Amino acid sequence: MLHNYNIALYPEWITIKGKPYIFTLIFEGLDQDCISFDLLEDIPEPGEFHIRSIPRNQSDVYHVTIR
C-alpha cells in the first residue's frame, strides 16, 4: 500500500461515527493476474474488519466501504 486516506493505520485508531464509512487505499500496481483481493485488518485486538472479494481495477485506487 502506498497511501491511505480517511483511515488510520494500526496502532493508531480512528473513531467511525456512523455507517457506511468510506476510505481510500492506493496500492502499487497489483499483479495483472489479480482479479480480486481480500482486505483483512489483522490486529492483536478486537474490532478488526475483513472485506472480501474487492474487485481489482486498473488504477489500483480503492474506495472501500465499511457497512
Compute the CA torsion angle 60, 64, 5, 27 (nearest 10 deg): -20
pLDDT value, residue 17: 81
Global pTM? 0.82
> What is the model's pLDDT at position 14?
84
Q: Give the per-residue SS3 of 6-18.
A: CCCCCCCCCCCCC
Residue holding cell 489483522? 42
**pLDDT higher than threshold 90 for residue 67:** no
Give the model's pLDDT for residue 19: 82
Domain ranges of the chain: 3-66
pLDDT in tens, 38-47: 999 899 988 8
Tens of pLDDT along 48-61?
889 999 999 999 99
